Amino acid sequence: MQERFPLQAHGLFAVVLYLIAVVSARAVAGDAPVELAATDLVGCLVAWSFFLLLRVFDEHKDYELDVKNYPERILQSGLITLTHLKIMGVIAIIIQIAWSIFLDGGIAEVTIAWLILIFWASLMAKEFFISAWLTQHLVLYALSHMMVMPLFIWWLAQLGHPGVALTQYLILLALLSFFTGFALEIIRKTRGPEEERATVDSYSKIFGPRGSASIVSLLLVVMASLQIYLIVAVFNGHFWVGYGLILIGSAFALFNIVKFIKQPSLRGREKNEGAVAVAVLLGYVAIIAAVLYPFNYLMVFNGIK
């Protein structure tokens, strides 16, 4: 896990996504005040387990290629096996379906949302049965895989408030998660010239390191705009702390990306990954704070609730 699925990074991201989805769902459902409960600790674990499941799927899907490109990895060197990962994956699935059925009191909205999500994730694991074609079209590959993020947000919203309606606010939140996932995916595979390998795909091979970094810059602007709009919608006014967090995070990420564009390098790519992750997390935290802000218990949602 430390090599391929670090708890501190993926755990934090899963918790933040869970929180933003559940507090938003409870707010649009009319819960006032919007509160968190002890059961949300279980929800955070369940959300994290889905990311773990995606990692297990990816390790199976990419195993043969990774044996050639990364033979030193723990899985590829034989210290653990795909069977070990299958066991972890089964445990993750059991946790998710059990919690969904528990919240539903049977099979209802939460479980249905999970079934749709796991169906799409399973198609991703099989690369939609067009692996050879899809791997030759990396942008379409990413778009198809990032569709899992809005479905994930919808399931998390159901976990937070079973039966919550799909409102315009939640649609925009799901759209934000799509752009977020896309930005993280592209920056992760935007490499400096010394990193490129003939047998490993990257967006920098398609668009050039400067071109793909520029695309991430555009996505950051789109993300920041959506984040600010969601806060305005929630707060029905000004929430300067939230705006400040979004602008600080975006400026920090853009600063590092501009440096990379001027001089692409391995070190620059690593800084970009961290900077974009910080921007994402600060933006999500700003929205969570806006929803939980004490004076927002009478919020109007500015017409998009």
Cα(125)–Cα(57) distance, integer angstroms: 5
User: Helices 168-188 and 266-292 meet at what angle, rounded to 10?
Assistant: 160
Per-position DSSP letters for 36-75, written without gaps between them: --THHHHHHHHHHHHHHHHHHHHHHHTHHHHHHH-TTSTT
What does pTM read for this prediction?
0.90
Domains of the chain, CATH where assigned: 1-164 (1.10.357), 167-305 (1.20.120)
Tally the C-alpha atoms within 13 A of residue 130's C-alpha that lie toward its C-beta.
9
User: What phi, psi does 79 have (nearest 5°)?
Assistant: -65, -35
Q: pLDDT digit string (tens) for 91-147?
A: 999 999 999 999 999 999 999 999 999 999 999 999 888 988 887 888 888 888 899
Average pLDDT over residues 282-298: 77
Query: 186: number of CA atoms within 13 Å, CB side?
Result: 26
**Residue 217 neighbours by CB under 8 Å, 6+ apart:** 254, 257, 258
Q: For 71-104, how does the pLDDT look when each residue is reduced to its tens digit (9 = 90+)?
A: 999 999 999 999 999 999 999 999 999 999 999 9
Per-residue pLDDT of 32-76, as tens digits, reads: 678 888 999 999 999 999 999 999 999 998 888 888 888 999 999
Average pLDDT score over residue span 255-279? 89
**If we measure between CA atoms, which residue out of 231, 274, 234 comes closest to residue 255?**
274
Q: Give the pLDDT of residue 21.
A: 96
